[in-house]
Chain A
Amino acid sequence: MKAIKIVRIVISCAFSALLLFSGGYKWGTMPYFYNNVVRNPISEGLVPYVAYGFPSLLLVLGILIVLDVFRLIGRTTPYLLGASTFIMAFLALYCHLIVIGYFDKPRPCSCSGILGMSWEEHTVFNSWFSANGVLAFLLYGLERYNSPLAGYIHKNRVKFAARLKKWQTPSLNS
Chain B
Amino acid sequence: MADTIIKFLNVMKKMKLALASLVIAGMIGGGVVVAKQQVNAAQTLDASTEEGATTPNLSLERKGFDWDCLHIPAAPPCYYTWSSVTNSYSVPSSERGPIVN
Contacts and interface: CB of A to CB of B under 8 A. Distances in A.
Nearest to B33: A28
B75 to A, nearest CB: 5
A35 B61 contact: yes
Give the one of A29, A71, A107, A112 with max B CB within 10 A: A29
Nearest to A34: B64
Nearest to B72: A106
Interface in A21-40: 21-29, 31-32, 35-36, 39
Nearest to B38: A113
Given A29-B35, A66-B23, A24 B71 contact: no
Contact size class for A?
35 or more
Nearest to B26: A20
A110 B71 contact: yes
Interface in B1-56: 16-17, 19-20, 23-24, 27-36, 38-39, 42
A105 B65 CA distance: 14
Interface SS majority for chain A: helix
A36 B31 contact: no
Q: How large is the interface on B (under 10, 10 to 19, 20 to 34, 35 or more residues)?
A: 20 to 34
B28 A70 contact: no
B67 interface: yes
A70 B19 contact: yes
Contact of B94 (A25, A59, A105): A105
B27 A72 contact: no
A15 to B, nearest CB: 11
Contacts of A32: 39, 42, 63-64, 67
Contacts of B33: 28
Contacts of A21: 27-28, 30-31, 34
B23 to A, nearest CB: 5
A16 interface: yes
Interface of A: 16-17, 20-29, 31-32, 35-36, 39, 59, 62-63, 66-67, 69-72, 105-114, 118-119
